[in-house]
Amino acid sequence: MRDILQSLKFITLLFVIAAALLVAGVVQQANAAEPKNPNTFNRLLTPKKPFNLPPAEDGYHDPEGEGVAYLQPPKEAFKDLVKSNVGNHVDWVKSLETGKINPRFDRLDPKAKPIVMDLNIVREVKGSMPNVVYPHKQHTEWLDCSNCHPAIFIPQKGANQISMAAILMGQKCGVCHGKVAFPITAKTCRKCHSQPKGKKKGKAKKTAAKKQE
């Protein structure tokens, strides 16, 4: 009887050891499988950064500064504005168009209206990209003529040499775009490069003519 009991114990022990080895093997296999996955290498597609962080957490404000607690968190201000996927994650032009914001055009007079000029300028670009349509309308909602003319853009057809290199270096359109106005990323190319080549050459003239009528 005692012999049978002892052999039973021995068999159980063997089973336990076998099970433990099996589990260890499976775990090791799972661990080994992870680094072998070739899809894990993706150096340039970095995880999405958090945005519209409260001032104390944004990495620029000193969280110990006495005034930081008084500052409005951007998320709170942007709650009802039109969203975008670049910059502040706010579409400022659409927010203005839809009346979500009504910023003053004059420091003192809340009723002052901007002098809006509805004139599109089409710039035929040299490369394969679609032509650029520059809308005066959206720009004059925010700005005064003197902000751009004549220092940045000479108000004369063909007088302005513009290149993406100059823009990226902060000249021409880059004086605002890429700094405060919508940024220059692959997501925003088509905002300006919007007119297919070989189509509607007279668009600029048409709009200008309409204005004169």
Partner 1 sequence: MNHATRCGRRFALLLALAGTLWLTGQPVQAEYGDLVLNENAEKEGMPPVIFPHWFHRIRFRCKVCHADLGFQFKAGGSGINMLKIIDGQYCGACHNGEIAWSVENCNICHSGKPGLPTQVIGSRLGKLAPPGPTQGQQK
Strand partners, 195: 131
Rank residues 89 and 203 by Cβ distance to partner 1 and give the closer one.
89
CA distances from residue 210 to 65, 143, 155 in whole angstroms, order as listed: 55, 22, 19
**For partner 1, which residue of 22, 23, 24, 106 counts as binding (CB under 8 A)?**
106
Rank residues 43 and 199 by Cβ distance to partner 1 and give the closer one.
43
| Nearest distance, CB of residue 60 and partner 1, angstroms | 4
- Total of chain residues touching partner 1, rule CB under 8 A: 52
Query: Is residue 154 part of the contact set for partner 1 (CB under 8 A)?
Result: no
Containing 133, the helix (H) or strand (E) segment is: strand 131-135
Q: x/- contact string, 112-141, with partner 1 (CB under 8 A)? A: --x--------------------------x
By the 8 A CB rule, do 60 and 71 touch?
no
What are φ and ψ of residue 127, in 5° steps? -80, -160
Query: Is residue 66 part of the contact set for partner 1 (CB under 8 A)?
Result: yes
| Nearest distance, CB of residue 142 and partner 1, angstroms | 5
- Angstrom distance (rounded) from CA 197 to CA 3: 95
CA distances from residue 195 to 123, 138, 190 in whole angstroms, order as listed: 9, 17, 9
Stretch that binds partner 1, among 12-20, 21-29, 62-70, 124-132 (CB under 8 A): 62-70
Query: Is residue 147 part of the contact set for partner 1 (CB under 8 A)?
Result: yes
